Amino acid sequence: MLNFSVVIILSLILISKNLILLNEETLILLCFVTFCWLGFTKLKDSFHADFETQRKEIEIKFSESFEAIVNSLLANLKWQKLFPILITNFSILEKQFANLGSKMITQVPAIQNQEFQKTYLRKLSFAKRLEEQTSKVISLVLAKKIEKITFLKYFYSTKIRITAFQCNYKIALREYIETI
């Protein structure tokens, strides 16, 4: 590398002879070159260490992925060797399923009949519960309506004194007295 004092003396000579002009651009260039030179000389060891650790990490990752690929290929070869055996096993399994299916088909009508009976009984019990609940609700609604009607009839005959209601009240009272 060049000696720093030689570079400074050479620059001063060039500036004094007006070969290099000192303006903003030249000063910015000088600062940039100085910054790059100082950064390179002072930080090259830390950059080298960082790059070296990154290189080692990448190398480890490549080796791990290579091992994973090799293991995958070995497993694939193992399955390819087992494949003929699996084909024969699957053909035997297919025959067993065919036998099971034919036996089940013969029993399906009986099972279906039982299922229809169960669902029909469930539907009938649901209809019965629904009918009971509906009759309870209707009787409660009717009782509430009759209670409101009697209250309103009493209110109109006693508080408001509408003659038509007073007449009905007197007729009902006479009928009640006659039954006693």
- Give me the tens of pLDDT residue by residue for the chain, a chain 180 residues long: 457 778 778 878 887 887 777 778 878 888 898 888 888 888 888 888 988 999 999 999 999 989 998 998 888 788 777 677 767 777 787 788 788 877 877 777 777 777 777 887 888 888 888 888 888 888 888 888 888 877 877 777 677 766 666 666 666 666 667 776
- Contact criterion met (CB below 8 Å) for 36 and 28: no
Q: Is the pTM of this model over 0.85?
A: no
- Contact criterion met (CB below 8 Å) for 171 and 157: no
Place of tokens 């090799």: 70
Closest by CA position to 120, among listed 109, 131, 112, 132: 112
User: What φ, ψ does residue 21 adopt, rounded to 5°?
Assistant: -90, 135
Cα–Cα dist 142/35, whole Å? 99
Cα–Cα dist 15/21, whole Å? 6
